[in-house]
Every structure is written in C-alpha cells, then in structure tokens.
Amino acid sequence: MRVRACILIVIWLVRALYADELTWPSNSIYSLPALSLENQLGRQENIASWSGHPYLLGMFYGSCQMVCPIEIEAIKTFEDRFHAQGNPWIKVNLISFDSSHDQRTNLKQEADQHHLNSAWYQLWRVKQGDLGYLAGVLGVTWRALPGGGFKHNAVVALMDSQGRVVAKTTALALVHDESFLHAVQAQSSSVQGVP
C-alpha cells in the first residue's frame, strides 16, 4: 500500500512539474515537434519557452536582399506606430529558414544592421528540429533558388500566450492592417515596459 501511495505521489509531482508541456492546446505551436533555437546573443531555447505572453512571429533569412529587409522594417514601423498609440511594446521573434548560413554572428550582424533592440527583437536559427511544421502553421513557404537565395513569402503572425496563431498578415500589408493592429492590442494587455 505504501509503495502504491509513493508511486501516485511521484506521478502527481511529475505532472505538476511538467503541466505546461502536457497541457498545450492542440492548435498551439508548442504542441509541434520541439525546435531548439539559438538567437543573435547566443542564447539557446526551446520554442515553448516563449509561452506566457503574446508576440509577433515571422521567418526570414539573413542574406536576403529584398523581402526580408522589408519585413523587418515593416515590423519596426508597426511596433513604433503601435507603441506611439500608448500600447506596450510586444516581443518579436524571427526565425531563419537558412540556419546553415545564418550562424549566431550573422544574426547579430543582421540585428545590428536593422538597429533591433535585443530586449524586444530576437533573431533565431534552428539548432535542432524541423522548421517545416512551424512554417506550415504560419503559412510560410520557401524554396532554394539555383543561384543561391530563396524564393519565399513573408508572413507575420500574432501568437497568444499559449502559442496559438491569433492573426496573420503579410509583411507588405502589416503597417496598414487595422484588423491585425486591433488583434495585437487585444493580446498585448499583459506586456509591460519600454525597450
């Protein structure tokens, strides 16, 4: 009887310790196969560590000369507009789909080039895992071009605190997308601070 009681206590403790991992909604990106990431500062995280607050999520690659710089600048413009209206800053996570070339130093250089405050903007590369699952949820597509580079789209998604897509827009529409702005306002009530 004591052995059974001890086993039940251990099971309860394990469930309590890992409750967040066991209870993600089925439509959460945290329920996808795990992604291990590294950012421009060398910090390594699992994508599920982003839970607990809303954020913007997109994909890019560092050597892009057209779409990705537009995407990053559109996000910055959106953030400035959003904050100027009295809203709190919201974190931005951009994941490279060219992790073999976008090493930590390249990500840092990209962040510096765009004057991204690392308190709010994180550029990530995949260390381990399949980015394709996440790309499918976000609606991001890319394919390698014969001469180098990629043909791709640029989607910016608003994620809620549990990793669910609340709203999506394109990088080109982001700055003037009122419905996306309202969705971000509705999700951002828990975000505090100024970069």
Please name which of 62, 96, 56, 47 lies closest in space to residue 75, comparing C-alpha atoms. Answer: 56
Please list the pLDDT of the chain residue by residue as tens digits (195 residues): 565 444 435 444 444 445 445 589 999 999 999 999 999 999 999 999 999 999 999 999 999 999 999 999 999 999 999 989 888 889 999 999 999 999 999 999 999 999 999 999 999 999 999 999 999 999 999 999 998 889 999 999 999 999 999 999 999 999 999 999 999 999 987 554 444
Please name which of 52, 90, 78, 63 lies closest in space to residue 173, comparing C-alpha atoms. Answer: 78
State the Cα–Cα distance between residues 106 and 98, nearest whole angstrom: 11
Give the domain 25-190 fold: Glutaredoxin (3.40.30)
Which phi and psi (to 5°) does residue 150 adopt?
-140, 150
CB atoms within 10 A of CB 5: 9
Domain extent listing, the chain? 25-190
Beta carbons of 114 and 76 less than 8 angstroms apart:
yes
